[in-house]
Amino acid sequence: MKQGAFFKLDDIIGNYKNLMETPQQAFDNVKVDKKLYSVPRTRPLQTNAVLIRKDWLDNLGLPVPVTTEDFTNVALKFTTDDPDKNGKADTFGIGVGEDLSFLDQLWMAFDAGNGWRKMEDGTLMNSDVTPGRKEALGWLADLYKQGAIDKDFPVLKYTQVNDKFIAGKAGILIGGGIANYGQFTVDMKKVNPNAEIIMIDPPTGPSGTKGTPQSAGLYGHWVISSKASQEKVNKIMEILDWEATDEAMNFKRTGIEGVHYKLDNGAPVVNDQYNADGVINLIAHNKYNPYFTTPGATEEVAQAQLDQWKNIEQLGVPNPAIAALTPTMQEKMVDLEKYSTETFIKIVTGDLPLNSFDKYVEEWMNKGGKKMTDEVNEWYKQQ
Ligand SMILES: [Ca+2]
């Protein structure tokens, strides 16, 4: 980039009002020496949603849970009180996967941060060794013991967790995705026409914190060769700018009526031409994730997804060390994470007591965690 291979966009980006709706963080994350040589393929900074069975809440007369305490209560009742009213004890509260996936928003409720947490003294601490992580593990262990968390979670792949939710075994996904909501609503109706899922806020923890993980806000970025003529640059930018409109986003979902889709009871149903013409592959370079919407999903589903995206816009927890890459991090991070995950699983399943967490932190530091933390803090000071 520094050799001038790409067109510098700082002076012209302001002319493209749709592209200018890109969050500043996404621009910042692609700049080189504070200069803009590319247009980020924008993704939303926040994409998570707590997914919960609304029909189960209604069957048991329970309100939508807000605090971690409410979630405890609902998860237990989803396990013991036959929320699907089939007379069998065949449900549980919370879906979790191997590596303790689907729990980001729980860690944030307990104030463990997103990867790294800025501490009160201004230094960064790895989320895996924060007091909040310990507290959250205690919460999980307690629910696991009572059967409110999937007994099989240590061996469940991502798709298996989703499948159990769709099948009506699990009632809550704390770290569900807005993107999945569309397909879930479609698939779940096939299993049970009365099934209803809603997206709700992440849980609020004991100290009043709540949040959802914030990403870098992009998935790759577009560059234009510095050899391109000004005319060509203008044309490319015009196209990218159009692709950042709601119009382009809607076009990507369905294409042209009569050619790519027809309306069936108000819901657009796409046809083979839609795939043949590659409409789905349109860049739809939007400020929100084009994958939020499911092709063929109803307007209500698409609207619920956009509403959720707006609901959590202010709840994003950034990772303050997202761009850090230190020598010890490269050398030890994978092993450290593996060690952490193995330990956490044992604590949740009761194979290790909660107070073993303190010994774990000590070990983690000795295994390179201390050195990595020092390096990350050195890097952080220079930002
Ligand atoms: Ca049941």
pLDDT digits (tens, 9 = 90+) for 11-69: 999 999 999 988 887 888 888 888 999 998 877 788 899 999 999 999 999 999 999 99
pLDDT, residue 290, reads 47
Residue 101: give its domain's CATH number: 3.40.190.10
Residues 354 and 206 in one domain: no
Q: How far apart are CA 383 and CA 377, in angstroms?
A: 10
If you measure from the C-alpha of residue 11 to the centroid of ligand 1, how many angstroms do you get, rounded to a whole number? 62
CA of 190 to the centre of ligand 1 (A): 18
Q: Which domain does 376 fall in, by range?
A: 328-381
Mention every residue, 6+ apart, whose C-beta is less than 8 A from residue 378.
Answer: 326
The C-alpha atoms of residue 202 and residue 210 are separated, in whole angstroms, by 6
CA 91 to ligand 1 centroid distance, Å: 6
Report the separation in Å between the CA atom of 194 and the middle of ligand 1, taken as the mean of its atom positions: 14
For residues 196 and 336, state if they share a domain.
no
Q: What are the tens digits of pLDDT across the range 174-191?
A: 998 888 898 898 899 899
Q: What pLDDT digit, counting tens, does each position of 109-168 carry?
A: 999 999 999 999 999 999 999 999 999 999 999 999 999 999 999 999 999 999 999 999
Q: Give me ligand 1 centre to Cα 77, in Å.
A: 11
Distance 144 CA to ligand 1 centre (A): 18
Distance from the CA of 41 to the center of ligand 1, in angstroms? 44
Number of domains in the chain: 2
- Residue 231 C-alpha to ligand 1 middle, in angstroms? 65
Domain final residue pick, 213, 248, 282? 213
Instruction: Please give the distance, rounded to the nearest whole angstrom, from the Cα atom of residue 88 to the centre of ligand 1.
Output: 4
Nearest CA to 249 out of 283, 216, 224 is that of 283
What is the 107 CA–ligand 1 centroid distance (Å)?
A: 29
Distance (angstroms) between ligand 1 centre and the Cα of 166 equals 15
**What pLDDT, on the 0 to 100 scale, is given for residue 296?**
61
Q: Averaged over 264-278, what is the pLDDT?
A: 86
Tell me which DSSP letter residue 155 carries: G
Among the candidates 166, 198, 213, a domain finishes at 213
Instruction: Please give the backbone phi and psi of residue 263, each rounded to the nearest 5 degrees, phi first.
Output: -90, 130
Last residue of a domain, one of 156, 183, 213: 213
Confidence band for 2, pLDDT divided at 50, 70 and 90: low
**195 CA distance to ligand 1 middle (Å):** 13
Whether residue 346 is contained in a domain is answered as yes
Distance 169 CA to ligand 1 centre (A): 9
Ligand 1 centroid to residue 58 C-alpha, Å: 14
- Do 168 and 84 contact (CB within 8 A), yes or no? yes
If you measure from the C-alpha of residue 92 to the centroid of ligand 1, how many angstroms do you get, rounded to a whole number?
9
d(CA 87, ligand 1 centre) in Å: 5
Q: Token digits for 45?
A: 């900074």
In a domain, 99, yes or no: yes
Ligand 1 centroid – CA 121 distance (Å): 49
Is 247 a domain residue? no
Do 207 and 64 belong together in one domain? yes
Q: How far does residue 78's CA lie from ligand 1's centre (Å)? A: 9
Tell me which amino acid residue 238 is: E
In a domain, 2, yes or no: no
Establish if 5 belongs to a structural domain: no
What is the Å distance from ligand 1's center to 227 Cα? 66
Q: Ligand 1 centre from 59 Cα, in Å?
A: 11
What's the 85 CA to ligand 1 centre distance in angstroms? Answer: 5
Task: Quote the percentage of the chain above a pLDDT of 70.
Answer: 95
Distance, in Å, from the CA atom of 54 to the CA atom of 74, rounded to the nearest integer, reads: 11
How far does the centroid of ligand 1 lie from the alpha carbon of residue 168, in Å?
A: 9
3-class SS of residue 118: strand
